[in-house]
């Protein structure tokens, strides 16, 4: 037994993932292969996130110990402190969860401090909004996403600083050496390149702390696969022709509208570029006829009040198929986040379902 890494807690109380020295050694093989953005002992990292999670531990603490880089911590996140410390501490890399980084980038403080030494943004836990990744790129900063789970020890693949702009902005990079990752279709078989499937990661050994039922749920075929097994992550992805993994969303987040599948991330990545939108999350709302429809929760840009028509017109101009459009808009001050910095989509789904029930639109 080496360490516990808690899950993000998006579906409830965080679970404790038990890791052996073997699994962590395998993870560090991936860290070394990916070079984590080319970290060296001249670098200074600013960590946007808790150290008890996979991102803080694996992407910030461990690389600094391995390469002798300097680590700067935020005792409590604030946009002004993140920007101020970047200048004062001569930070070269941001590391952490995109949600906090987005707040810093879209704050009025971002342009007031010297960011000229910042060269890499290393993130995981959730996708980076394309508009923010594009902004980093235009600054000469490489946005490097890392993909993994708390079960895997944090990262099994990701971008490296030599990736192209397209790879950095629209994919999670390639699977690291030493890991076996498959995409599994609805029939339980591996899908060919270019087709969507659930991401499954092989592990030599794993269990949740004192929750054997949840362990069996994550590793449904462990007994027949022998020692270890494939973790069925619930993430939906596709491999492109160059071997890059693109995450399109969670299977639980997929919206089934009259038999047609809607992946929220696809639409979120477009609408986050709308000038009236600061942050957006799209969730399923119940519908008595079609089963589910898409509802957009939007944190408006300062001084803006977008309408549903503003969003749908934007999608129409970009030739997005109409069944994928959100059919209701809810404006909120901020998105509910878990302790790990991930959006609590279940809370938003419950909120809109309760509203529809009160409005008498479900029966």
Q: What is the pTM of this model?
A: 0.75
pLDDT digits (tens, 9 = 90+) for 160-216: 899 999 999 999 999 987 788 999 998 889 999 999 999 998 876 566 667 777 666
Q: Tens of pLDDT along 290-342? A: 999 999 999 999 999 999 999 999 999 999 999 999 999 999 999 998 766 77
CA distances to 36, 142, 177, 268 from 173, rounded to whole Å, are 12, 13, 12, 20
Element (H, E) at 284: strand 277-287
223-257 per-residue burial string, b: 16 or more CB within 10 A, e: under 16: eeeeeebbbbbebbbbbeeeebbbbbbbeebbbeb
Between residues 194 and 125, which one has the greater pLDDT?
A: 194
Q: Which residue do the tokens 């020890």 mark?
A: 153
| Cβ 202 vs Cβ 9: under 8 Å | no
Q: How many Å apart are CA 142 and CA 159, to the nearest integer?
A: 9
Q: How far from each other are the two terminal CA atoms of the chain, in whole angstroms?
A: 52
Per-residue model confidence as pLDDT tens digits over 239-266: 999 999 999 888 889 999 998 989 998 8
Domain ranges for the chain: 3-248, 253-358
253-358 under CATH 3.40.50.2300, yes or no: no
State residue 149's pLDDT score: 77
Instruction: Please report where in the chains the tokens 């519908």 appear, as a residue.
Output: 287
Helix spans in 128-276 (H): 130-138, 165-170, 212-218, 222-225, 264-271
211-220: long-range contacts (C-beta < 8 A, 24 or more apart)? 211/15, 214/15, 218/151
CB distance 175 to 157 below 8 Å: yes
Q: At residue 95, does pLDDT exceed 80? A: yes
Residue 54 CA to residue 334 CA, distance in Å, equals 24
Q: 3-248, what's its fold?
A: Rossmann fold (3.40.50)
Could you tell me if 190 and 201 are in contact, meaning their C-beta atoms sit under 8 angstroms apart?
no
């Amino acid at each position: 037994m080496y360490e516990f890494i808690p899950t993000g807690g998006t579906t409830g109380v965080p679970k404790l993932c038990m890791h052996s020295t073997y699994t962590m050694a395998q993870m560090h093989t991936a860290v070394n292969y990916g070079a984590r953005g080319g970290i060296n002992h001249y670098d200074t990292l600013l960590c946007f996130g808790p150290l008890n999670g996979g991102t803080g531990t694996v992407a910030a603490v461990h690389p600094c110990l391995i390469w002798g880089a300097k680590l700067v911590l935020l005792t409590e996140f604030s946009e002004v402190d993140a920007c101020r410390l970047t200048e004062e501490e001569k930070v070269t890399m941001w590391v952490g969860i995109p949600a906090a980084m987005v707040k810093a980038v879209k704050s009025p403080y971002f342009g007031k401090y010297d960011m000229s030494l910042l060269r890499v943004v290393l993130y995981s836990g959730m996708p980076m909004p394309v508009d923010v990744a594009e902004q980093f790129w235009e600054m000469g900063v490489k946005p490097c996403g890392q993909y993994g789970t708390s079960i895997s020890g944090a990262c099994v693949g990701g971008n490296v600083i030599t990736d192209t702009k397209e790879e950095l902005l629209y994919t999670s990079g390639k699977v690291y050496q030493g890991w076996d990752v498959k995409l599994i279709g609805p029939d339980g078989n591996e899908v060919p390149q270019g087709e969507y499937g659930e991401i499954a990661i092989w592990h030599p050994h794993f269990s949740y702390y004192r929750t054997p039922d949840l362990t069996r749920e994550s590793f449904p075929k462990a007994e027949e696969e022998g020692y270890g097994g494939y973790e069925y992550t619930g993430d939906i992805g596709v491999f492109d022709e160059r071997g890059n993994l693109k995450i399109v969303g969670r299977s639980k987040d997929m919206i089934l509208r009259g038999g047609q599948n809607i992946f929220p991330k696809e639409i979120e990545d477009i609408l986050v570029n709308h000038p009236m939108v600061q942050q957006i999350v799209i969730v399923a709302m119940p519908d008595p006829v079609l089963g589910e429809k898409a509802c957009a929760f939007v944190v408006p840009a300062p001084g803006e009040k977008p309408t549903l028509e503003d969003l749908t017109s934007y999608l129409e101009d970009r030739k997005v198929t109409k069944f994928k459009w959100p059919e209701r808009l809810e404006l909120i001050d901020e998105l509910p986040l878990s302790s790990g910095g991930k959006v609590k989509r279940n809370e938003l789904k419950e909120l809109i379902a309760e509203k529809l029930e009160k409005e008498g639109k479900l029966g």
